[in-house]
Chain A
């Protein structure tokens, strides 16, 4: 695909970021440039290579499923922008 084809408005919506028209244009041009650079990875044949998700050979780190101390309701809500009755307040979702 052509790197400059990125639909910034659509991707910004997926990312839940509202952009101004000026931002859309600027970010679109910059991402086109960056994606053009990233294209160089196509030079490599990786058909026989396993992907690396992270560099440490740990798998299935388990712990007993036990109740442990955690933040109180009050502490968990302390940084909330809007709260009531011990709950987070959000805009109306269902009419």
Chain B
């Protein structure tokens, strides 16, 4: 079935005319029809618009369009509900945006379209990307395709579940503290958070501007390379995008990792790690050694401070970014007697509990009398965390860790305890604070129930080529990426 293919498999078929883009899009729509009642990865999707895009691509293929110019020719790609797609709804899985329709395409969406992709669907997420389980969506939880009693991870839970359930060939998500890598690990797909500045964020609804990045979810590492190459590059509409040349990532997947140095941070292999996760990661390290990599123990001494640092910086930035949702210019409005009560009523009714909690925390750490004690101190600890990584990367090419301390937990298990939920991001958060790149890929399964386990690879700033090379070598020498969940319908 076409919806089960990877980007490279599907595009090869399309250019050989063994299938049409319309058939590929229809196969994804059929799969959504079949399984999404169970999974709820999609908040909505515009089938007519997707098929019209596919028809246009079929015409382009008939006219001789090539993969060299359009590497995503005819590939259906789902979009997290935080990125602007012209003429489509944009809600950030929140009630506060009301019936918002995007007036323009995000830069990454323009790039996908230019590469020939069929851009469709609004994928579920934690409201405003705040959460680790997709339980904070205002429109219902997404379920993990491997076990529908469990969370898919978050905040990009819909993006991960849609790829794992073959409802799309690939998807886009965003990662502020692990929101791509953690759900990719828990759903058994490949997810990449690019280096800060690698991908333009124009058209992304901002959560924490010094941490947010957009990245791909795919079924294998080659597809991540292909998609990253399309998405990357400087953009005059995002002044934080970096004018660094974009390598041919897919062409760099040559297989050999002999002599590469891989760092194992001793601070990451300690308490709270589920035994099966620990074992799978140890096996993966052995596999990398077999492939010729040299494993070195390293230290990231400020690891233990990352979660606290993150929840000051991210909430402070969120409290400023989310001030724009005021009930005046767009979205839902709840009236009041004066503008101040209109703001308060609109935001009190429109935001969910986690978003309120984080805005209030962020307002508090920035408020007069507390700024130095919390926000400024956190920015200084952030410097120490970043220095830890830059020092480690003087000795090693890539750092290997578990992506998450445990496999997917049950729906409801942590939803009443925000601090426990925050601590589940312990391995992914530092990467955003340091501004480096990180990737998660499958490295095994738990026995009963069978749940995916993720291996995290962290790379130098703009070191995506090396990261992808190591991930590809590991993936091609192990069977994990070929496993599919059995979804009851």
- Please indicate whether A and B come from the same complex rather than being unrelated chains: yes
C-alpha spacing A20/B101, complex, angstroms: 30
> Is B260 engaged at the interface, CB distance under 8 Å to the other chain?
no
Q: How many residues belonging to B are interface residues under a CB distance threshold of 8 Å?
A: 77
Contacts of A44 in B (CB 8 A): 302, 305, 381, 384
Asked if A55 and B361 sit within 8 Å, CB to CB, the answer is no
Asked if A34 and B419 sit within 8 Å, CB to CB, the answer is yes
Asked if A17 and B347 sit within 8 Å, CB to CB, the answer is yes
> What's the dominant secondary structure at chain B's contact region?
helix
Whether A55 contacts B461 in the complex (CB less than 8 A), given A17-B351, A38-B312, A41-B381, comes out as yes
Whether A17 contacts B360 in the complex (CB less than 8 A), given A38-B374, A41-B305, A75-B103, comes out as yes
> Is B66 engaged at the interface, CB distance under 8 Å to the other chain?
no
B325 and chain A: residue at smallest CB distance: A16
Asked if A51 and B380 sit within 8 Å, CB to CB, the answer is yes
> Is B337 engaged at the interface, CB distance under 8 Å to the other chain?
yes
A34 and chain B: residue at smallest CB distance: B419
> Is B30 engaged at the interface, CB distance under 8 Å to the other chain?
no
Contacts of B356 in A (CB 8 A): 12, 17, 19, 23, 27
Of B239, B242, B361, B434, most buried by chain A (CB within 10 Å of CB) is B361
Whether A38 contacts B338 in the complex (CB less than 8 A), given A16-B344, A46-B381, A52-B386, comes out as no
> Is A18 engaged at the interface, CB distance under 8 Å to the other chain?
yes
Q: How close is B383's CB to chain A, nearest CB, in angstroms?
A: 4
Chain B, residues 337-380, CB within 8 Å of chain A (1/0): the string is 11111111101100101001101111110010010011011111
Q: How close is B130's CB to chain A, nearest CB, in angstroms?
A: 13
Q: How close is B242's CB to chain A, nearest CB, in angstroms?
A: 6
Stretch at the interface among B74-82, B326-334, B448-456: B326-334
B99 and chain A: residue at smallest CB distance: A79
Asked if B363 and A52 sit within 8 Å, CB to CB, the answer is no
Contacts of A49 in B (CB 8 A): 380-381, 383-384
Asked if B210 and A54 sit within 8 Å, CB to CB, the answer is yes
Contacts of A67 in B (CB 8 A): none
Contacts of A52 in B (CB 8 A): 379-380, 382-383, 386
With beta carbons under 8 angstroms apart, the residue of A16, A30, A53 that contacts B418 is: A30
> Is A61 engaged at the interface, CB distance under 8 Å to the other chain?
yes
> Is A84 engaged at the interface, CB distance under 8 Å to the other chain?
no
Asked if B344 and A13 sit within 8 Å, CB to CB, the answer is yes
Q: How close is A18's CB to chain B, nearest CB, in angstroms?
A: 4
Asked if B367 and A34 sit within 8 Å, CB to CB, the answer is no
B209 and chain A: residue at smallest CB distance: A54
Asked if A79 and B330 sit within 8 Å, CB to CB, the answer is yes
With beta carbons under 8 angstroms apart, the residue of A37, A55, A63, A91 that contacts B210 is: A55
- Give chain A interface residues in 50-95, CB to chain B under 8 Å: 50-56, 58, 61, 63, 71, 75-76, 78-82, 88, 90-93
Asked if A34 and B311 sit within 8 Å, CB to CB, the answer is yes
> Is A33 engaged at the interface, CB distance under 8 Å to the other chain?
yes
> What's the dominant secondary structure at chain A's contact region?
loop
Asked if B339 and A91 sit within 8 Å, CB to CB, the answer is yes
A89 and chain B: residue at smallest CB distance: B328
B90 and chain A: residue at smallest CB distance: A79
Q: How close is B109's CB to chain A, nearest CB, in angstroms?
A: 16
Contacts of B382 in A (CB 8 A): 51-52
- Give chain B interface residues in 313-336, CB to chain A under 8 Å: 319, 323, 326-333, 335-336
C-alpha spacing A45/B123, complex, angstroms: 43
Asked if A41 and B377 sit within 8 Å, CB to CB, the answer is yes
C-alpha spacing A80/B348, complex, angstroms: 19
C-alpha spacing A51/B328, complex, angstroms: 35
> Is B236 engaged at the interface, CB distance under 8 Å to the other chain?
yes
B366 and chain A: residue at smallest CB distance: A14
Contacts of B381 in A (CB 8 A): 41, 44, 46, 49
> Is A11 engaged at the interface, CB distance under 8 Å to the other chain?
yes
Asked if B418 and A54 sit within 8 Å, CB to CB, the answer is no
Contacts of B347 in A (CB 8 A): 15-18
24 A-B pairs with CB atoms under 8 Å apart are A1-B370, A11-B360, A15-B362, A17-B360, A18-B347, A20-B348, A38-B311, A41-B309, A41-B381, A46-B381, A49-B381, A49-B384, A50-B383, A52-B380, A54-B209, A55-B196, A55-B435, A56-B196, A58-B197, A79-B103, A81-B332, A88-B328, A90-B328, A91-B336
A interface list, Cβ under 8 A from B:
1, 6, 8, 11-20, 23, 26-27, 30-31, 33-35, 37-38, 40-44, 46, 49-56, 58, 61, 63, 71, 75-76, 78-82, 88, 90-93
8 extra A-B contacts, CB within 8 A, seeds A42-B377, A52-B380, A81-B330: A11-B363, A27-B353, A30-B419, A51-B379, A55-B433, A56-B242, A80-B328, A91-B336
